[in-house]
Chain A
Amino acid sequence: MQAAPVLHCQLTMMRIAQENRSGWLIISVTGRADALAAQALEEALDAATMLSTKIAVDLSGLDYISSAGLRSLLQGARAAQTRNCEFVVCGPRDGVKTVFDISGMQHVLRIEDALPC
């Protein structure tokens, strides 16, 4: 397991960390994924698709996601698809899961309850 680089989004309450585990690049997103954090999230996911072919986005520490946050996830998944990467969103808590259910994100993204590794 490698040390986890951490990116703090200064303007909002979001934190992104990444680590390699069993062939997967785990991107852990905690706090709030809103418009202020969306660009940092999108850039982190895009960069991840250039580092690994298997990406898991761990949302177990995410408290809130707005439409801008959802778009960032969508763009990240799109970048992964373009580069033939496996991309899975994992562990959303109830509030975030409700947003996924209302928007039907499960029809577009692969969403799992637990991390694949």
Chain B
Amino acid sequence: MLTILEQTVLLALDEQTGKLQSSQGFNTGYALAGAVFFDLALAKKIDTGTDTVQLLNTTPSGHAASDFCLAEMAKRPDKTTVRAWIEEFMQYGEFLEDTALQGLVARGILRHETSTMLWIIDVERFPMVDDKPRQDVKLRLVETILSDEIPAAEDVMLVSIAEASGLLNAVLSQQELDGRQERIRVLCNLESISRAVFAAIRELDLHIRSAVMTSY
């Protein structure tokens, strides 16, 4: 079973460049932080209230990214809000991405290739070896958004992370997304972790807009 972080990275991966493709670049860091938080919640390592997070169990889960975050949280019992930890883990976006990519390579879903461009620049690529897991993730997103059924908890998490990182365009047409905006809004609001991710993204957008306005 892939972690939410691995599913997010798999969905976002541009095979050609080996980088995460997202129409909202800054948001991807927050989305990856949210994905790790969901993995910790699914592993019963943390529980969240409307704003706060409680560390339940610091025993390693066996997933490098989750365990790194778990260890960081154990060091800082004074930091108790979901939002504060999302902001903290956002700074480790590259590490979270790399760890997830390594996990996907180890599972035989991706292959790691390196080459040199112009004799000096190392270029990494992650071609798909087994496309079925990515297709499964896409199918679950489509079914969860287009149906009116009560969603599975893990699918709620996946939809909210995909929406936050601007990846829903990769699975549904703009017309389909426009028609299901209310469903997407409901799904993204259900989890306190998603709400913290979206609040952080909104605040970042405001800062960027404000900086742009003052520069003119």
**A residues within 8 Å of B by Cβ?**
34-36, 66-68, 70-71, 74-75, 77-78, 81, 98-99, 102-105, 107-109
Contact = CB atoms under 8 A, between A and B. Distances in A.
A81 B50 contact: no
B186 A104 contact: yes
A67 B50 CA distance: 8
Given A35-B56, A103-B190, A74 B150 contact: yes
Interface stretch (B40-48, B93-101, B131-139, B207-215): B40-48
Contacts of B190: 70, 74, 103-105, 108
A49 to B, nearest CB: 12
A107 B156 CA distance: 13
Given A35-B56, A66-B54, A67-B47, 4 more contacts: A34-B47, A68-B47, A77-B150, A103-B192
B149 interface: yes
Contacts, number: 58
A45 to B, nearest CB: 12
Contacts of A75: 152-153
Interface string B49-81: 110001010000000000000000000000000
A105 to B, nearest CB: 7
B150 A78 contact: yes
Contacts of A36: 56
6 contacts: A35-B56, A67-B191, A70-B190, A78-B150, A99-B49, A108-B151
Interface string B152-181: 110010000000000000000000000000
Contacts of B152: 75, 78
A81 B49 contact: no
Contact of A68 (B41, B150, B195): B41
Interface centre among B149, B153, B186 (most CB of A within 10 A): B153
